[in-house]
Amino acid sequence: MSVSVAVVAKSPSALPCAQLHAGAAAPCASANRKWVLVATILGSALAFMDGSVVNVALPALQAAFHATSGGIQWVMQGYALFGAALLLLGGAIGDHYGRRRTYVWGVALFALASAGCAASTSLGELVAARAVQGVGAALLVPQGLSILSASFSGEERGRAIGTWSAWTSVFAALGPVAGGWLLQVWSWRLIFVLNLPLAALVLLLAPRIPESKGGGEGGTQPLDWLGAALATTSFAAIIFALSFAPELGWRDFRVVLPLVIGGLLLAAFLWSQGVRANAMMPLSLLRIPRFLAANLLTFLLYGALGGGLYVIPFYVIQVRHYAPVEAGAVFLPLVAMMFFFSARVGAMAARVGERWLLAGGAGCAGVGFGLFAALSAGGAYWRSLLPGVLLLGVGLTLAVAPLTTAVMSSVPQEKTGVASAVNNALSRLAALVAVSVLVFVLAQGFSSRLGHELQRSSLPVAAQHAMVAEQARLHDTPIPDGLTQGQHAEAAGMLDRAFFAGYRAVMWSCAVSSWLGALAVVVLLRRHAEA
Contact 454, 462 (CB under 8 A): no
pTM, two decimals, is: 0.77
pLDDT reported for residue 17: 61
* Cα pseudo-dihedral 44, 50, 51, 52, rounded to 10: 120
Distance from CA of residue 250 to its chain's centroid? Answer: 27
Contact 203, 104 (CB under 8 A): yes
**Distances in whole angstroms, Cα of residue 342 to Cα of each of 174, 361, 394:** 15, 12, 10
CB-facing half-sphere around the CA of 280: CA atoms within 13 A: 30
Tell which residue, 51, 49, 69, has the closest CA to residue 59.
69
Round to whole Å and give the CA distance between 72 and 63: 10
Round to whole Å and give the CA distance between 397 and 331: 13
Spatial neighbors of 24 by CB under 8 A, at least 6 apart, are: 150, 210, 212
Q: In this structure, which amino acid lies at residue 475?
A: H
Encode pLDDT of 143-200 as tens digits.
887 888 778 876 677 778 778 877 876 777 677 777 788 887 788 888 899 899 999 9
Round to whole Å and give the CA distance between 281 and 273: 6
Contact 70, 440 (CB under 8 A): no
Mean pLDDT by 10 residues, the chain (531 residues): 32 42 49 81 86 79 78 84 80 84 95 93 91 92 82 75 76 76 82 90 89 61 82 84 78 90 93 81 83 93 91 92 86 84 75 86 97 91 95 92 81 73 79 87 94 92 92 89 93 96 97 96 68 43
* CB atoms inside a 10 Å sphere around CB 478: 12
Round to whole Å and give the CA distance between 458 and 437: 33
Tell which residue, 462, 514, 242, has the closest CA to residue 358.
514
Distance from CA of residue 44 to its chain's centroid? Answer: 12
Encode pLDDT of 57-108 as tens digits.
888 888 788 777 777 888 888 888 888 778 778 877 888 888 899 999 999 9
